[in-house]
Amino acid sequence: MHKSVIYILLSGLVFLLILIRFYEDLLFYDPYLTFFENDYLYIDSPRREVAKLVGFTTLRYVMNTIISLAILFLVFKDKSIIKFSVLIYGIAFFVLMLFYLYFVINPRQEDYYLFFNIRRFLIQPIFLILLLPAFYYHKLKN
């Protein structure tokens, strides 16, 4: 592919990530969006439908993951990097979702900050921000 096409595709994929973030209120059921915008350390956990919340959190994670994997593929064009990234994303989802479910089912004010950060890894493309420089550094070393 020509470099200009790659840059256009990368820009489009990053724009998709931005759109997911910008329209999160409309696209996803998440009562914690407004909860964590407020002074959440001093208020009770919001009412929630656990199955619906987990479903929409999973959907958002999958959408971010697919776009992130496409970005990684366009940048590195290496299937082994994509396979390793899929493994990382899969393991991370399983582990983070276990903690997420624990905090959703057992909300305690002293755990809100940890819950906020675990939730952040599930709903935002943080792994992309971590993996891009890590793979780039690995590529430079080889």
Condensed to tens digits (0 to 9), the pLDDT of residues 39-91 reads 665 566 777 899 999 999 999 999 999 999 999 999 999 999 999 999 999 99
What gap in Å lies between CA 102 and CA 105, rounded to an integer? 5
In whole angstroms, give the CA distance from residue 88 to residue 8. Answer: 27
Q: What is the pTM of this model?
A: 0.91
Report the candidate in 44, 34, 28, 25 with the shortest Cα–Cα distance to residue 112.
Answer: 44
